[in-house]
């Protein structure tokens, strides 16, 4: 992997959903359950794509506007997905997704990869979900404990707003007794808009290409880079650990 000048991260900062935890598979299957409830012949992945496109817009409205809980954002996206597809559902059908949060588990590389990273630098996790959702997912990390865990409910801010990233750095710095600034961070995310915002703030950005078996869809999954080039493109956290390890042993000439 090409080195981009001398740089050594003080911490690795990661997203959660579709970065550490395989959320989309449960989400798509929840769409299947919803469609079966209403006898729709629509393909679950097509309904999911409609929901996620609207949901992304609602997420960004929260990021740069009035704060709302993540569940409400998903409910609004679901309601619009019903209107756009003609499926006669209601916001209450969000229960098909929310009742299954406990099934959202980590990718196989997450625990060993994060464990390698944590031996070198602190690991910070932040997610656009309610506290109980993230706590439930973190509990599935087989004994691994991040150095810092934060979420939108604690910060009352939402990625990709700069406020969310700044809250993480300021809060983690106080709790860990570290001096952290954006250029000190290696940010890792599957959702491209989160990684793009991190790069714009001056962090090193690593796009982790998750869920490559799901047919590509603009803005969410797929192999096309959307926006600025990433500092790193990786397929798992072992590759992220290798980036950190290289920075520890490499010195400027």
Separation between Cα atoms, residue 190 and residue 192, nearest integer Å:
6
* In the predicted structure, residue 73 carries a pLDDT above the cut 70: yes
pLDDT at 214: 86
Residue 212 domain flag: yes
Host domain of residue 138: 11-22+105-249
My answer on whether 52 and 118 are in the same domain is: no
pLDDT at 100: 95
My answer on whether 90 and 137 are in the same domain is: no
């001056």: which residue's tokens? Answer: 202
Q: What is the DSSP letter of 154?
A: H
My answer on whether 182 and 111 are in the same domain is: yes
Size (the chain), residues:
253
Separation between Cα atoms, residue 235 and residue 149, nearest integer Å:
23
pLDDT at 124: 98
Collapsed DSSP state (helix, strand, coil) of residue 189? strand
pLDDT at 3: 45
CB 137 within 8 A of CB 106: yes
pLDDT one-digit tens code per residue, 1-34: 444 556 889 999 999 999 999 999 999 999 999 9
């709302």: which residue's tokens? Answer: 68
pLDDT one-digit tens code per residue, 85-137: 999 999 999 999 999 999 999 999 999 999 999 999 999 999 999 999 999 99
My answer on whether 87 and 114 are in the same domain is: no
């Amino acid at each position: 992997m090409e080195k981009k000048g001398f740089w050594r991260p003080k911490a690795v900062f990661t997203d959660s959903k579709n970065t550490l935890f395989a959320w989309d598979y449960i989400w798509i299957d929840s769409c299947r359950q919803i469609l079966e409830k209403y006898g729709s012949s629509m393909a679950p992945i097509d309904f999911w794509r409609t929901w996620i496109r609207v949901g992304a817009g609602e997420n960004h409205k929260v990021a740069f506007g009035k704060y709302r809980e993540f569940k409400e954002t998903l409910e609004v996206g679901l309601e619009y997905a019903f209107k756009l597809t003609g499926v006669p559902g209601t916001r209450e059908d969000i229960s098909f997704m929310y009742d299954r949060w406990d099934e959202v588990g980590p990718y196989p590389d997450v625990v060993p990869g994060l464990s390698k990273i944590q031996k070198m630098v602190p690991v910070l996790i932040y997610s656009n979900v309610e506290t109980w959702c993230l706590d439930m997912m973190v509990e599935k990390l087989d004994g691994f404990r991040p150095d810092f865990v934060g979420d939108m409910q604690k910060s009352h801010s939402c990625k990709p707003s700069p406020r969310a990233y700044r809250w993480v750095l300021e809060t983690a710095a106080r709790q860990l007794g570290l001096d952290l600034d954006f250029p000190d961070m290696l940010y890792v995310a599957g959702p491209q808009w989160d990684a793009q915002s991190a790069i714009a703030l001056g962090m090193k950005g690593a796009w982790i290409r998750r869920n490559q078996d799901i047919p590509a869809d603009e803005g969410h999954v797929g192999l096309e880079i959307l926006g600025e080039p990433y500092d790193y493109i990786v397929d798992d956290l072992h590759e992220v650990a290798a980036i950190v390890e290289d920075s520890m042993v490499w010195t400027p000439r």
